[in-house]
Structure 1
Amino acid sequence: MNVLLVYAHPESSSLNGSLKNFSVKHLEDAGHKVQVSDLYAMQWKAILDADDSTDRQPGARFDPSLDSKRAFENGTQSQDIALEQDKLRWADAVILQFPLWWFSMPAILKGWVERVYAYGFAYGVGEHSDTHWGDRYGEGMLAGKRAMLVVTTGGWESHYGPRGINGPIDDILFPIQHGILYYPGFDVLPPFMVYRTSRTDEARFSKICDELGQRLDDLWKTAPIPFRPQNAGAYAIPELTLRSDIAADQYGFDAHIARGG
């Protein structure tokens, strides 16, 4: 299988760097082909702007969505964007690895998403009608591929528990897992979390690698998070709200996960 690892940490000798190196070797030793987009090493341009199109006219008004659509359709995207899209087409599975900074991904990784997820590639695809509101949330250009987050954080696991001060980790990651990965069609696997990173000695690092290695071995066997697909009947269209008979006693993020059917 083909695996793309999109990695966002500025220090190669960090815990993240060691885990990235472990994952690449483990996957390759298992016979998989791996590509790594090491965003800091690539000096990835994080800002979405008019320079992302190679045929911009001087003084023309910049419209992020429409310019992205035109550049994607006309083959005039900047080369770095097109190369990352090719990696996504090639991949059977995508791993996003990053430290949790201020309750989200590092800005450089968010910039990768904003620029690579072009209009016509990751969004703005499919028909809009009374029964189908675009190919998204379970459908789309990346449907049939798997995705998983590998996330590190300095906080304790209890800090991110159901009653933890930081809020449940599933809620914190929902905008990434549901909005960035499930939206264009990925089957999203439960995240691999590493807590209390500053307390990682050799013994703990070995244990983390054992657990991560098992998750990598199970990339194509692990059941994905059962997000509700948009166009399969659970949502009223065009309102895009859950039908009144679906998860009637649930609200917020959890209502969009079909737990137990």
Structure 2
Amino acid sequence: MNVLWVFAHPEPRSLSGALRDDGLQTLREFGHDVRESDLYAMKWNPVVDAADFGAEAGDDRLVVGATSARAHARGELSPDIVAEQEKLDLADAVIVQFPLWWYGMPAILKGWFDRVFVKGFGYGVRAEDGRTLRYGEGRLAGKRAMVVLTAGAREPAMGPRGVNGALNEVLFPLHHGTLFYAGMSVLEPVPVYGADRLPDERFAEARQLLRTRLSALETAEPIPFRTQNGGDYDEDLTLRPDRIPGATGLAIHLT
């Protein structure tokens, strides 16, 4: 497989950096072709502005969605965005690694998605019959994605009754609203809890967990999200009443 590893941590000598290094080595041992986007090392610019869209931006009021779509179609996106899109086009699988900060991604990684997943590439993709292709369909359909993250919280605190909320619900905006929205098949995440006080034996366990999960990157079953156009949702994109009647919450979007 061609694998893209997107890494967002400011310290390469960190626990996250050690796991990244081990993960890249593991993938190569398994025979995969690996590319990396180390966002801090690249000094990635996370801020969307008119310069992203070249000549298309002009002096008019910036409407990001429409302007980015035209710039993408005309090949006028800035070179750093195009380079990341080319990496994604080549990838069969994408590993997204980051420390969990304030219930989400570091700003540099959020900005990577903001700038790279422009309209016409990450969203706003339509079929020939006019259907919008998202939530399981789209330009990135057929690719796999897996999140690797470190969290300061202990595992029970991110469990079903933990004060921090269950991990898969915390990651729902990224898993469902970004990766799956763009068409990717999303695998269960690889979490490392209590990362700021991890003893040596726990680090060894984390390395082994990551190696095990990477060994199954091609075969693991993805999170069973419902596709938008698979018949589960009505014309208002609301789950049909005969699907788990009366239930609400994020879990209703799983089959």
| 1:4 lines up with 2:4 in the alignment | yes
2:49 maps to what in 1? 49
Cα separation, partners in 2 of 1:202 and 1:126, compared to 1, 3 Å: same
Deviation at 1:201, TM superposition (A): 2.6
What pairs up with 1:150-189 in 2 under 5 angstroms? 150-189=148-187
Deviation at 1:133, TM superposition (A): 4.2
Deviation at 1:53, TM superposition (A): 1.3
Q: CA RMSD in A?
A: 1.3
The CA deviation string for residues 91-147 of structure 1, in whole angstroms up to 9 with x for no partner, is 000010000000000010000001000111111111497xx7401101001111100
- Where 1:225 maps in the other structure, the secondary structure is coil
2:202 maps to what in 1? 204
Q: Taking structure 1 as the reference length, what is the TM-score of the superposition?
A: 0.95
What pairs up with 1:1-261 in 2 under 5 angstroms? 1-56=1-56, 58-127=58-127, 133-237=131-235, 239-258=236-255
- Where 1:35 maps in the other structure, the secondary structure is strand
Greater CA deviation, 134-143 or 243-252? 243-252
Q: Distance in 2 between matches of 1:203 and 1:35?
A: 29
Cα separation, partners in 2 of 1:175 and 1:57, compared to 1, 3 Å: closer
Deviation at 1:205, TM superposition (A): 1.4
- Where 1:149 maps in the other structure, the secondary structure is strand
Q: Distance in 2 between matches of 1:111 and 1:119?
A: 15
The CA deviation string for residues 220-251 of structure 1, in whole angstroms up to 9 with x for no partner, is 111100000000100002x0000110121321
Contact (CA 8 Å) 2:5, 2:36: kept in 1 or not? yes
Q: Distance in 2 between matches of 1:57 and 1:145?
A: 31
Letter in 1 for 2:238: T
Deviation at 1:157, TM superposition (A): 0.7
Q: Distance in 2 between matches of 1:42 and 1:58?
A: 28
Q: Distance in 2 between matches of 1:250 and 1:174?
A: 17
Greater CA deviation, 245-254 or 7-16? 245-254
Runs of at least 5 residues in structure 2 that lack an aligned partner in the other structure = none
Letter in 2 for 1:208: A
Q: How many residues align?
A: 255
Cα separation, partners in 2 of 1:128 and 1:32, compared to 1, 3 Å: closer
Deviation at 1:58, TM superposition (A): 4.9
Contact (CA 8 Å) 1:128, 1:134: kept in 2 or not? no
Cα separation, partners in 2 of 1:57 and 1:176, compared to 1, 3 Å: closer
Runs of at least 5 residues in structure 1 that lack an aligned partner in the other structure = none
The CA deviation string for residues 68-108 of structure 1, in whole angstroms up to 9 with x for no partner, is 01110110000000010000010000010000000000010
Q: Distance in 1 between matches of 2:124 and 2:5?
A: 25
Cα separation, partners in 2 of 1:57 and 1:94, compared to 1, 3 Å: closer
- Where 1:241 maps in the other structure, the secondary structure is coil
Query: Following TM superposition, where does structure 1 have runs of at least 4 consecutive aligned residues deviating by more than 4 angstroms?
Result: none
- Where 1:144 maps in the other structure, the secondary structure is coil
Contact (CA 8 Å) 2:56, 2:76: kept in 1 or not? no
Contact (CA 8 Å) 1:53, 1:78: kept in 2 or not? yes
Deviation at 1:56, TM superposition (A): 4.4
Deviation at 1:252, TM superposition (A): 1.3
Letter in 1 for 2:87: K
Letter in 1 for 2:195: T
Q: Distance in 1 between matches of 2:246 and 2:53?
A: 47
Q: Taking structure 2 as the reference length, what is the TM-score of the superposition?
A: 0.97
Give identity over the alignment, percent.
Answer: 48
